[in-house]
Structure 1
């Protein structure tokens, strides 16, 4: 791949279809992006199967250098994009098998996966693969919903149940699971009690606002320590004024700026996987949701690059001349 990736190399609107035009293969890759376009476990709006490609399209606006973290996230990780997995639209169990196998393969090759959903049900399959590779996981779950509802019309596997199933299957360490940003109306008080009964740390959006991000992030870091950690981000964590393109929006969330600052502050954890889910392009007419999701992927990759740097394992960045200013 020619470096740097900038408009004077290839116009932003000329896409290969991958995230930031990343290759599908590269020697020594330590990060892999993969689409998990399954959405038929959703309870309200469907269409998140088109989320991965919308996020990739929006990523064309991003440049390679992250000035906040001071690194080139995709070069220092030699990142690749392996494309969308061939999920089975009418079968969640067969789709789980496909997703789990693909994530397991990424992990076996020494790469950290970043999954692009799809509805939130896909996270369970990724957690299965990560737990087999690393043991019981710590989890940072940023969402407006707990997703610990047991059944929906008698079905145990849907986008509202991945985190109750993860506990039942022993994939996570409950005391090191943080569900942050929870808000909205409920059927009954038990909707929140279900997470607490599992032993999860539940921090509502109201508590997050009252305590402040710094205090909550400090608690997360202290409790998780160096345990293998998976970060799952439901785009409805963000207020729908800033991320309207999602299936079950809840008002009263963070702005896009606040969201990015919080994610950036979650440095120093032993990340073994990430996902961003529930991006629904048909409700995102000006691409603000997809662009925010692409920025989140960018920040997730930056966390991986920071960890590689700390271990002395980051790929060196080629020396390049100062580029000419980019005009848009």
Structure 2
């Protein structure tokens, strides 16, 4: 009995004597489940938890907006934040959306993203996915901020992709209010021309700037409810576009709906899902955009506020997170050339981070669609 304590003592000594080591890249966030520095050789290490600077899904950070002449690591799909919320007509706060979505993605990592539904890992399918950080946008002048975002999209998409066969990188934008989609569509037009837009939202967002903006000024007329009208005016989108999840009221039932159709859109209301199920929605969306390049924009308020309370203009009666993800994943095979998830305002989220978790998974699905169907630009 006298020496029964010795084994335990030696064990404690061995633990205390272990060499302290740091991960290969210090100061970079590591996911809750582990980390991997290289997407191709990512390995799990559960000792690294909740530390470092956040990137989306623990992807490598690349300074995609480096000055001319600076060497930039090549990539195929770029995640870029657009911290802008001064185009809202309701609650502000979406300028913090990009970092909120990254926070919601902390449990995700290239080494731990094998789908139980498909058996695939979208981060390890041969296309390099990176986080470019946020576009630097002023919050003092909307006109200047959108010019900055226009340029950011042009710079990021103009890099030569890592994949030699598909030379133009594609961008997933983390918003930011919905005005930011206008800059993204201007950027995609340079490489793919006019596109069909699949617009997941509770609102139409095709309002005439003279109606939603009051005709006060050009500045006031460019906002998160008019950007699709402006995109149509600029010839960025085709007349084969479609809304999904619509349920918010309109100001003038005859004019607003007629004007929306003139902007090139059909409408799938939120309650239509109750009649057709998710497969019915998928079929309608695919039929509408068949044969064209596609841009998907997901306003997080397409979800019911019980699933996504952290948004600027919440509307009750929306879809569940599972329903939205099922619909997105069902769109496999479309030629997706760009996408975004917007209107995430973390200040209105609950302690469980319901909204940012949902937005992070939406971005994951959008990346999956891009990986599943590579698309060549027109030059």
Query: Given the two structures, how large is their TM-score scaled by the length of structure 1?
Result: 0.88
- Say if 2:134 is the partner of 1:84: yes
- The corresponding residue for 2:17 is none
In 2, distance between residues paired with 1:38 and 1:46?
9
In 2, distance between residues paired with 1:252 and 1:6?
40
2:214 to 130, 141, 153: 153
- The corresponding residue for 2:169 is 111
Checking the alignment, whether the CA contact within 8 Å between 2:303 and 2:319 is kept in structure 1 is: yes
Structure 2 counterpart SS, 1:172: coil
Between 1:228-237 and 1:62-71, the stretch displaced more is: 62-71
1:27 shift after superposition: 4.8
- The corresponding residue for 2:83 is 37
2:235 to 170, 187, 197: 170
Checking the alignment, whether the CA contact within 8 Å between 2:136 and 2:148 is kept in structure 1 is: yes
Checking the alignment, whether the CA contact within 8 Å between 1:36 and 1:116 is kept in structure 2 is: yes
- Say if 2:123 is the partner of 1:74: yes
Larger Rg: 2
1:28 shift after superposition: 4.4
User: CA 1:20 to 1:7, structure 2 compared with 1: closer, same or farther past 3 Å?
Assistant: farther
User: CA 1:5 to 1:277, structure 2 compared with 1: closer, same or farther past 3 Å?
Assistant: farther
- The corresponding residue for 2:338 is 273
Kindly indicate whether structure 1 or structure 2 has the higher relative contact order, using CA contacts under 8 Å at least 6 residues apart. Answer: 1
In 2, distance between residues paired with 1:161 and 1:106?
25
1:66 shift after superposition: 2.6
In 2, distance between residues paired with 1:7 and 1:248?
41
1:263 shift after superposition: 0.9
Checking the alignment, whether the CA contact within 8 Å between 1:15 and 1:57 is kept in structure 2 is: no
In 2, distance between residues paired with 1:196 and 1:5?
50
Between 1:207-216 and 1:225-234, the stretch displaced more is: 207-216
In 2, distance between residues paired with 1:258 and 1:85?
31
- Number of residues paired by the alignment? 308
Alignment root-mean-square deviation, CA: 1.9
2:373 to 303, 307, 315: 307
Q: Which runs of 4+ in 1 moved over 6 A?
A: none
1:121 shift after superposition: 0.4
In 1, distance between residues paired with 2:250 and 2:193?
33
Structure 2 counterpart SS, 1:54: helix
In 2, distance between residues paired with 1:213 and 1:185?
23
1:10 shift after superposition: 2.8
1:192 shift after superposition: 2.7
Structure 2 counterpart SS, 1:66: coil
In 2, distance between residues paired with 1:9 and 1:35?
29
Gaps of 5+ in 2: 1-36, 63-71, 160-167
- Say if 2:93 is the partner of 1:47: yes
- The corresponding residue for 1:247 is 312
User: CA 1:51 to 1:6, structure 2 compared with 1: closer, same or farther past 3 Å?
Assistant: farther
1:147 shift after superposition: 0.4
In 1, distance between residues paired with 2:178 and 2:204?
11
1:53 shift after superposition: 0.3
In 2, distance between residues paired with 1:138 and 1:15?
39
- The corresponding residue for 1:4 is 42
Query: Given the two structures, how large is their TM-score scaled by the length of structure 2?
Result: 0.77
- Say if 2:333 is the partner of 1:296: no
- Say if 2:222 is the partner of 1:133: no
